[in-house]
Structure 1
Amino acid sequence: MAAPMVGLTMLARLQSVTAPLRRLAPPTFWTGFAVVLALYSLWLIDAWQRPVYITFCLLTTLPLALTWRWPVAVWATVAAGAVLASIAGVPATPTEFTAGLVALFVLTQRHSRLRSGSIAAVFALGTAFVRRQVNGFELAFELAIVALNWLLAGSVRTHRALVSALEERARSQEQIRSQEMRRAAAEERARIARELHDIVAHSLGVIVVQATAGGRVVDESPGEARAALEAVERTGRDALADMRRLLGVLREDGPSDRQPQPGLDQLEPLLERFRAAGLDLTAEIERPLPSLPSGLDLCVYRVLQEALTNCLKHAPSRAARLHLRSREGALNLSVFNDGDQTPASPGVNRGGHGLLGMRERVAMFGGDFEAGPAPDGGWCVAARLPLTVAA
């Protein structure tokens, strides 16, 4: 019983003793381990004067140098050597039992449970043959060691498979997060593109109207022409500031503090700019307006801005009316103008995307959007945005 107990002790201590060596390349580690075990085996049975002892000691230990590459072949060689040594009358040593356990431990981690279990069963039969002269208790103990070794190696294999699955899952989640970040970046770019369109369409529309008006009165009324030019300058500066703010979002090295997006709190300055541009605008706003999320707040502001810009571009000499009120959990807005009942009024001709942009903004918050001829003449843009859904 002493031989297998020494072998089990050696196997149990192998993990901690060889920890620094395992950082070496596999060939270096396993070759060193095999040489040390062979020398220990030769020393145990004093085999220096007996060539047959030397042969079997080396046959049952040195093949371990190739365990990292061919564990099944190494185990078969060690097992065959142990059986032949027993037949030849060579005394059994803990080293051959330890070598067999090590090879079984390695191959169990690399092969299926069925295959490794079959090899473990053959190992148990071989152990019973080699140790046939010991009593039944010692033999049962040695067979239990073989079974425990196989079970321990199987648990290590399961643990490694679990770790590998978790690592794969982590990599998959990282890829999903990366894809979501790219999708969010694409959505942000699309949002910025819509914002730039609204800014440019609004500002250029006002600039064109003011420049046209100033050109008509420059000779008769220089004061009015100067006022028109000042309005053009203000509008251009505001547009440039908005564009710089939006484009700054795309700069990785840009400033971290960004100005807030416009909302209904800036509605009055917006209306005043249209009035200063020459639009005869009447606004009916039911106050107090409900507090809106930032996204919905921006949506309402941009829809009103686009609708009023269309009025200024296509019917600058006609009156325009704006209605904004909250009713039954929804925000209702509408813009009427007394211009022509033609598709030119909503500003979708000449390659423009005003109506499409407004419709997409409203639909994004689950709202309803309509644009078309008004019952009493002119053109109407109306939208209904649910507050509960948007929130």
Structure 2
Amino acid sequence: MENENVGAEVKLIDLNKKYGETKALDHLSCEFHRGEMIVLLGPSGCGKTTALRALTGLMQVDSGQIIVNGRDITMMNPAKRNMAMVFQQYSLFPNMTVQENVEFGLRVRKMPVEQRTRKAREALEMVGLADQASKYTHQMSGGQQQRVALARALVLRPEVLALDEPLSALDAKVRVQLREEIRRLQQQTGSTALFVTHDQEEALAVADRIGVMKDGKLQQLAEPWRIYNEPANEFVATFIGESSRIPAVIRDGVALVGDQQVPVLGTSSKRSNGKATILVRPEAVQLQLAVEETRNAENCGTVKEIQFLGSTAKIQVEMVSGTALTAQINPSEAMVLVPGQRVSIQIEPKAVLAVARDENPARANPIKIVKKGSALAPAAV
């Protein structure tokens, strides 16, 4: 299928939407570049699906503007927006064949029969289902049905492709295969895409940029590597990836964790000194068997649980201070460990975030991340 359309430039400007007293969108503003895959990620109720429905016209916002290629489409009828949507539940017509399902949108647009038949066949070839065209959807697997739904959307040559948690109803292996297919097809067709999901692995795998949302607000919009390594605040750091909260004391640019020192770069401010919490990624934790003379050292802990995950192993450790810590290590290293065993803990200078100690995490002061070589360390603001 040739790339007849180039994806649109999209701007969401100060969008607001309330359901009763709940703010589904709270002054949401962001821009999508032409041909870009944006993934909105966040917990249930964060506003990501509301943003997608507002963009496609399936829902009207209370205020704000939606600009596509310089044109205000905020009040435009959904049918006139040159957008296509792939839903979680496929929404295919059971009384139509696969070919007829894919042709449906073209038939609504009154495209001549011969032309729409050809285009539908091209779309099915893109998703690898050309030989299934005469089947009915109930004769197909869930993954095949979602491919049909994707072909039905792509055949319209949309400027914007909207995907509302399209993989959540599929099993894990099919999800991985289909997300790769969606990414390939989106790049091939050149459509700008907005992909909504609650699965962070999915988001990291397909996105050009990820927008993390909470309570209707956009917390950060950035490339996947930046979201993971340079989170804008504590919520992003804890929502994306896994991390352990480690009590520490910051003194003159250094975080003291037990008897270890983790560099806190870029600060000499006295106001950054004092109690803090450092969020540590599992891959930044190294474990070694503790020798007898270090049994009471502050950098020791007790193995509580071992999880073998194929290429990696996760070890749950209880530090001497009582703090729970997760380490991600090589499975061969984990084979020598057993629950109840004492281990020494070494934290590499890759702490993701440090926040001032506060009983209410929402009021905690965020720490800016500074990159130094290949390691990441927190820098107080």
Report the TM range for the smaller structure's normalisation.
under 0.3
Larger radius of gyration: 1
- Relative contact order (alpha carbons < 8 A, sep ≥ 6): 1 or 2 greater? 2
Greater strand fraction, Structure 1 or Structure 2 = 2
TM-score normalized by the length of structure 1: 0.21
Answer 1 or 2: which has greater helix percent.
1
